[in-house]
């Protein structure tokens, strides 16, 4: 798996389009949100900025890049060749997705660290870490499911739009309006409960038990995405 991951990391830094999508754009958006935090937090909180940065990095950088990567490796038959080696299916997928996952987590850590340094620390850092990890796992699982519907890297520009725009939109909606109204709908949408978790972790003032219950919808989306991925994912191009 590590050999596959090393090769994939090299490919990320060689491919300018992937590099921009995975690293440059999310970092640029996040830097803008932090620099203009007074504008964005008018009527909101610092937790709202944290959710925006998290979902831009995970929704654009991690999710979109993972789908594009898997579609590209399928199209050039690299996935098929890897399956003829001693590596198992989990090792192959793990090796291909490990580099972008690590890079995204490092980005999120740096960006949220900068936000904490310039604007104030989160009330519950451990809960924030758990919220970030659960969000990353959810988007990785959704990436695997979407890759099953994606025929090529070009096709990924279309198939990734509903989820990437959707989770960013949901996070912005919940971050601005809270969950006082339409509570169940907001929590059941992908990214809704994760957004509320980040808000609780950063802003504080919410009982821990109530926050822990918010992991359930995110984990449910992970299960749904994994089931869909098992049904839809293909190792060879469709004929």
What's the token pair of residue 103? 């890079």
For residue 222, the model assigns a pLDDT of 93
What's the token pair of residue 139? 């988007």
Statement: residue 110 has pLDDT above 80: yes
Kindly report which listed range (20-24, 130-134, 154-158, 196-200) carries the lowest average pLDDT score. Answer: 20-24
**Residue 40: exposure state from Cβ atoms within 10 A (0-12, 13-18, ≥19):** buried
**Model confidence pLDDT, tens digit, residues 183-196:** 899 999 999 999 99
For residue 43, the model assigns a pLDDT of 45
Distance between CA atoms of residues 130 and 34, nearest Å: 22
Q: What percent of the chain has pLDDT over 70?
A: 95
For residue 25, the model assigns a pLDDT of 74
Total residue count of the chain as it appears in this document: 239
For residue 145, the model assigns a pLDDT of 93
Is 130 within 8 Å of 216 (Cβ atoms)?
no
For residue 87, the model assigns a pLDDT of 76
Whose structure tokens read 């291909």? 96
- Provide the greatest CA pair distance for the chain: 56
Enumerate the domain spans of the chain: 2-232
């Amino acid at each position: 798996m590590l050999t596959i991951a090393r090769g994939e990391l090299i490919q990320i830094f060689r491919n300018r389009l992937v590099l921009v999508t995975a690293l440059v754009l999310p970092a640029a958006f996040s830097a803008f949100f932090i620099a203009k935090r007074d504008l964005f937090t008018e009527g909101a909180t610092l937790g709202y900025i944290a959710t925006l940065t998290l979902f831009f990095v995970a929704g654009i950088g991690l999710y979109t890049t993972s789908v594009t990567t898997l579609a590209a490796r399928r199209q050039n038959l690299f996935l098929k060749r890897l399956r003829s080696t001693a590596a198992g299916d989990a090792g192959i997928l793990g090796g291909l997705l490990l580099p972008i996952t690590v890079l995204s987590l490092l980005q999120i850590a740096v960006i949220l660290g900068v936000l904490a340094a310039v604007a104030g620390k989160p009330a519950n850092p451990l809960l924030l870490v758990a919220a970030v990890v659960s969000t990353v796992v959810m988007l990785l699982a959704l990436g695997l499911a979407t890759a099953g519907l994606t025929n090529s890297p070009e096709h990924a520009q279309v198939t990734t739009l509903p989820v990437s725009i959707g989770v960013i939109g949901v996070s912005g909606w919940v971050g601005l309006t809270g969950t006082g109204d339409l509570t169940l709908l907001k929590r059941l949408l992908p990214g809704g409960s994760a957004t509320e978790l980040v808000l609780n972790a950063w802003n504080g003032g919410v009982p821990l038990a109530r926050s822990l219950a918010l992991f359930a919808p995110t984990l449910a989306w992970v299960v749904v995405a994994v089931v869909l991925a098992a049904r839809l994912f293909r190792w060879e191009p469709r004929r």
